[in-house]
Chain A
Amino acid sequence: MMISDGIEDEEKWLAEGIAGIQHNAFYLHRALDSNNLREVLKYSAQLLSELRTSKLSPHKYYELYMRVFDELRRLEMFFKDEDRHGCPVVDLYELVQHAGNILPRLYLLCTVGSVYIKSKEAPAKDVLKDLVEMCHAVQHPIRGLFLRSYLTQISRDKLPDIASDYEGEGDTFMDAVEFVLQNFAEMNKLWVRMQHQGPMREKEKLDKERNELRDLVGKNLHVLSQIEGVDLEIYRDIILPRVLEQVVNCKDELAQYYLMDCIIQVFPDEYHLQTLETLLGACPQLQSAVDIKTVLSGLMERLSNYAASSPEVLPEFLQVEAFTKLSNAIGKVIEAQVDMPVVGAISLYVSLLTFTLHVHPDRLDYVDQVLGACVRKLSGKAKLEDSRVTKQVVALLSAPLEKYDDVVTALTLSNYPRVMDHLDAATNKIMAMVIIQSIMRNSTSVSTSDKVEVLFELIKGLIKDMDGTSTDDLDEEDFKEEQNSVARLMHMVYNDDPEEMLTIINTVWKHIMAGGPKRLPFTVPPLVFSALKLVRKLLGQDGDVAGEEAPANPKKIFQLLNQIIEALSIVPSPELALRLYLQCAEAANDCDLEPVAYEFFTQAFVLYEEEVADSRAQVTAIHLIIGTLQRMNVFGVENRDTLTHKATGCGAYHASLIPMGLNRRSTLRLMRVGEGKLIRVLLCLKRSLRIANAAQQMVNVTRGSSGPVTLFVEILNKYLYFFEKGSPQITTAAIQGLVELIKTEMQSDSTTSNPSSDAFFASTLRYIQFQKQKGGAMGEKYDPIKL
């Protein structure tokens, strides 16, 4: 009730004030038109009396003031034109001082003063000095502020300055500076005094009102910054110390915050750079409630932009030791403001880090220092739980990654991992992913084992279970993404020097081996292929494989590979391990290491026989074993025979277990292995036919099927293959016989037609036909076959 009454009242008073102004303005205009000086003075004084009110809030007072201001402009024009009123300005200056009340008197005086200065009948500095001192008589905060603001406004273009009209003997820009500084000081005092005007419970309202007036005070600083004669020295020696004195001594947090920020925004960055110590020195002296970190952040941001836009000033930054000063100032502030929450301190460091990255990107020691300060701030606390702090810490850690395309640089910062350690497990992993993504995006290669060590330490949250977490907690998709990222990362870790590369591989293995059964299937393959690439590289070097004395030699690498693949048994991942063993066998073959290759094959067979359970998987496994075996040239007769026999045995072992079609094909594949051994080939073929026949009989009993037909066509194709290769055991008669057999089967009643085997047979016949038509040796070969 009270408040709404208050607002209503204010509106009423404002309306009354405006009415009063309009009323007097009417008569004032009439007096101006008739050049009646006496009447002009009378009505203007009356008009100005409306500003004597103390009932209005600053916002409303401003409305009144603006109307008055318009009238004063008219008044000034009148005063200037002596012809109109016949009174010399000197006398006018005297005359207006007879106005009854002080406030109207002073407004009139300022207005005449403006004319007086323009007339140059007196030195500007004298008039200005007079005015600024006389305004002292108004001590009411709002009235005084607006009055002095009026003084600022009318004096702006009349300040004695270098090359201004008002410069003269004894009238220099220093006088202008002195005038503005004085006005500023008085305005600040009035402004601060406003806080005592109302009861404590209305503090919020008061602060709001005060904020509405702050630009009146700040304007003076603007004016100072625009005085041409002011250079760095004047700023440093006179202006800044005086202004800071006011700021510190007023002990008012609202004023201090605003004015510090104003100084920083209004004066040039190069001044700030050169007066850094003084400016920063004021900070710890400010009231503890002042949000100094925002001010400091603002300063650092300005300086960062300054450095970014004018690279030629960078040496200056070093010369004034900007970083050290800022760093110390921040330290002092944090120390002084014991109640500052952690998030505040960290955000200050983020600003400092941003500054450092902009201004001194090459000074990694500075960057590390900032991180170190954070570590100290965070130490003694448990893992971070406050999300705002976490956010700041992540910003802190991400900034160097964004700045330096080469993430490896971040890896050399000794405090980087220490900061990361303070993050909670989930955020730690996110940060690790950010690091990996940064490396991938910039295609950075991490090329020494030391850096690899640091890198894998940094991402340890992804590589193994950290305390208190387990992989069960994770979303499967997220987990896969993480692990695939780690896998991709391993391809960025590389060095041309084989010895160093082997050290790198060992380092990576050391880290990932503790990953556990869920992670190994993702991380082992890329490491294995890295190692195999190294073997290939060693091979490539002038054909001779490195001897066993060399620190990096294939044999050593194969031992390591064995160890690595062996680890998959805890998952267990027999199919993957089998594939990797076969890859190693091939590589060992290329290195001429027969026993090593043999051993890998043995391992593969063990897995096949004991671990691979799924029948489809077994077929694929057999294909891979046979395909690899076929390419081996390192084995002596005995070893080769043993292995081939084993392979055939694998096929036969499952004769009763695997669906028949699959089995037959496996057996057929085996023939490739024994290409040199014709008897073996024939045996296989005959065995296939026998099994196929048996299958046919079984199937005829149960139901009609063309399963065997497809197999026969396959066998026919195999026959043709070996026939063309010149195997004497495969005769044209045998081929002819099989062709007839197939035709018979296809026409038989008990056989359901199968379009795909029909097509297969048709294309096979087409092939035979084509070979016959080829002429030459091939045509002759095929000639006896009749279709």
Chain B
Amino acid sequence: MVLVLALGDLHIPHRAADLPPKFKSMLVPGKIQHVICTGNLCVKEVHDYLKTVCPDLHIALGEYDEETRYPETKTLTIGQFKLGVGHGHQVIPWGDLDSLAMLQRQLDVDILVTGHTHQFTAYKHEAGVVINPGSATGSYSSINYDVNPSFVLMDIDGLRVVVYVYELIDGEVKVDKIDFKKTTASST
């Protein structure tokens, strides 16, 4: 069982002051093995904070990030799964699933994580999953009017991944999940 935290679009301090306290108290150091971030942190303090949650941190470049050396896209293998992350402002129309699927094919990954829309989505199709963890701070978005703070936790176990989404709605943390099973082990 490998826990992977996926979050992004915090927009600290441009659009939000900090993560919601309820989220902060859940993100305990040492419990999570990998962190994937879709970008738009935007400042070093946030990077340092995420590092304390888990040192294995993978960040994609958002258009407001202070650190411009983050890569536009990144791929990594965790167990039987190939994961890819990008911010998502490069995929137009923003949030369009078919276009995102195209990126997924290009990166050749089972799980694609992108952000930008501040809207949690998890889309299963035959070739894999496309996940958007939303905005961890619930910050303003021109695309999405009704933003609740959210993040995703993936539990990777063999050929199966359970995707948990945590959303802060009216002050309460609500959890939901979807399951995905790979049909074949990934080839090298």
A residues contacting B by CB (< 8 A) are 440, 480-481, 484, 487-489, 491-492, 525-526, 529, 532-533, 536, 540, 579, 583, 586-587, 620, 623-624, 626-628, 630-631, 669, 672, 713-714, 717-718, 721, 724, 756, 759-760, 762-764, 766-767, 770
Query: Given A529-B14, A721-B102, A770-B127, does the pair A623, B89 have CB atoms closer than 8 Å?
Result: yes
Residues of A within 8 A of B63 (CB): 579, 620, 624
Mask for B67-102, Cβ within 8 A of A = 1, else 0?
Answer: 000000000000000000000011011100011011
Residues of B within 8 A of A540 (CB): 145
The verdict on B27 contacting chain A, using a C-beta distance below 8 Å, is no
Residues of A within 8 A of B13 (CB): 484, 487-488, 491, 526
The reply to whether B140 and A533 contact each other, CB–CB distance below 8 Å, is: yes
A631 to B143, CA, bound (A): 9
A766 to B139, CA, bound (A): 38
The reply to whether B17 and A579 contact each other, CB–CB distance below 8 Å, is: no
Residues of A within 8 A of B142 (CB): 532, 583, 586-587, 628, 631
Query: Given A526-B13, A579-B63, A587-B142, does the pair A669, B92 have CB atoms closer than 8 Å?
Result: yes
CB distance from A441 to the nearest CB of B (A): 11
CB distance from B64 to the nearest CB of A (A): 7
The verdict on B43 contacting chain A, using a C-beta distance below 8 Å, is yes
The reply to whether B17 and A488 contact each other, CB–CB distance below 8 Å, is: yes
Residues of B within 8 A of A484 (CB): 13, 43, 45
The verdict on B105 contacting chain A, using a C-beta distance below 8 Å, is yes
Query: Given A620-B63, A717-B106, A763-B108, does the pair A627, B140 have CB atoms closer than 8 Å?
Result: no
CB distance from B31 to the nearest CB of A (A): 26
Q: Could you list 6 examples of A-B contacts with CB < 8 Å?
A: A487-B14, A488-B18, A525-B14, A627-B89, A672-B99, A724-B98
A623 to B105, CA, bound (A): 20
Closest to B137 in A: A491
The reply to whether A532 and B106 contact each other, CB–CB distance below 8 Å, is: no
CB distance from A266 to the nearest CB of B (A): 48
Query: Given A440-B17, A532-B140, A756-B108, does the pair A624, B43 have CB atoms closer than 8 Å?
Result: no
CB distance from B24 to the nearest CB of A (A): 13
The verdict on B51 contacting chain A, using a C-beta distance below 8 Å, is no
The reply to whether B15 and A529 contact each other, CB–CB distance below 8 Å, is: yes
Residues of A within 8 A of B173 (CB): none
**Given A630-B93, A631-B94, 6 additional A-B pairs, CB 8 A:** A480-B43, A579-B64, A620-B89, A624-B89, A721-B99, A770-B126
Query: Given A529-B140, A587-B142, does the pair A760, B108 have CB atoms closer than 8 Å?
Result: yes
Residues of B within 8 A of A489 (CB): 17
- Interface of B, secondary structure class, is loop
Q: Which of B14, B18, B143 neighbours the largest number of chain A CB atoms within 10 Å of its CB?
A: B14
The reply to whether A627 and B92 contact each other, CB–CB distance below 8 Å, is: yes
CB distance from B13 to the nearest CB of A (A): 4
The reply to whether A721 and B140 contact each other, CB–CB distance below 8 Å, is: no
CB distance from A759 to the nearest CB of B (A): 4
CB distance from A394 to the nearest CB of B (A): 25
CB distance from B95 to the nearest CB of A (A): 10
A522 to B57, CA, bound (A): 25
The reply to whether A631 and B14 contact each other, CB–CB distance below 8 Å, is: no
Residues of A within 8 A of B101 (CB): 767
Closest to B88 in A: A627
A743 to B44, CA, bound (A): 45
The verdict on B28 contacting chain A, using a C-beta distance below 8 Å, is no
Q: State which of A526, A536, A630 has its C-beta within 8 Å of the C-beta of B15.
A: A526
Mask for B148-168, Cβ within 8 A of A = 1, else 0?
Answer: 000000000000000000000
Query: Given A536-B140, A672-B92, does the pair A763, B105 have CB atoms closer than 8 Å?
Result: yes
A489 to B16, CA, bound (A): 10
Residues of B within 8 A of A492 (CB): 17
A583 to B40, CA, bound (A): 15
CB distance from A777 to the nearest CB of B (A): 16
A424 to B83, CA, bound (A): 54
A724 to B143, CA, bound (A): 25
Residues of A within 8 A of B18 (CB): 440, 488
Residues of A within 8 A of B108 (CB): 756, 759-760, 762-763
The reply to whether B92 and A623 contact each other, CB–CB distance below 8 Å, is: yes
Residues of B within 8 A of A587 (CB): 142
